[in-house]
Amino acid sequence: MSLLDLAPVIPVVVIEDVESAVPLARALVAGGLPVIEVTLRTPVAREAIARIAAEVPEATVGAGTIRSSEDISASVAAGAKFLVSPGTTLSLVEAMDSSGVPYLPGAATVSEVMALVERGIKELKFFPAEAAGGVPYLKALGGPLPDVRFCPTGGIRVNTAPDYLALPNVGCVGGTWLTPADALAAGDWGRIEKLASEAAALR
């Protein structure tokens, strides 16, 4: 099954404390969001991926902020089941293509989307969604590129997510609102589970 069809929202998480990785993943899964993107923005991100992969088998954990072939090999070795990049270069998409796991390459312009379609890639990350044009932009892309589907990420909130999800070319959205920094710091897993439950009900 496509990554875009597993859940209406993919939590995009930044993990500062590796000890929070497993309880965080369990809270998200309990709330109905089994697909989790751990961004490679902290020193513990890869270890966090490894712990989630080992201890929360019901979660599909992936690595975000993929920028290099080294990121790809280290993430897959840690147990990442998918990869997400903020943008796409030729060498990066070739490396992701060779990784053996599903991936969502980032694109923000029509030309970038068309370049990926030429390579047979029709499921993409649209980033930064709000800054790059948001719902009207994606709606406009649906005319000339009706066979391409997106996971828009960047600036989306619980109140704007339904507008994206209503578009026929949007499979899911990525969101950081599900894991507020204060909830993570406090270990308030109940709050995160509730936010996940609300997001899971968006579609």
Whether 125 is catalytic: yes
| Chain mean pLDDT for the chain | 97
| Closest to 84 measured CA to CA, from 48, 50, 60 | 60
pLDDT of res. 1: 74
- How much is the pTM? 0.97
Amino acid at position 94, single letter: E
Q: Which of 19, 58, 122, 125 is catalytic?
A: 125
Would you state the pLDDT for residue 67? Answer: 98
Q: What is the DSSP string of 66-80?
A: --SHHHHHHHHHHT-
Q: At what angle do helices 45-55 and 21-30 cross, to 10 degrees?
A: 50
CA dist 67 and 32 (Å) reads: 29
Residue 76 pLDDT:
98
Q: How far is CA 45 from CA 17, 48, 52, 126, 146, in A?
A: 9, 5, 11, 22, 35
pLDDT of residue 203: 82
For the stretch 148-193, pLDDT in tens is 999 999 999 999 999 999 999 999 999 999 999 999 999 999 999 9
CA-nearest of 51, 74, 76 to 62 is 76
Portion of the chain with pLDDT greater than 70, in percent: 100
What is the spatial distance between Cα 18 and Cα 88, in angstroms, rounded to a whole number? 28
pLDDT exceeds cutoff 80 at 59: yes
Assess whether 193 carries a catalytic annotation: no
In this prediction, residue 193 carries a pLDDT of 98
| C-beta atoms surrounding 54 within 10 Å | 12
Q: Which one of 37, 81, 123, 193 is the catalytic residue?
A: 37
pLDDT at 124 over 90: yes
Q: Pick from 202, 126, 197: which is nearest to 166 by CA?
A: 202
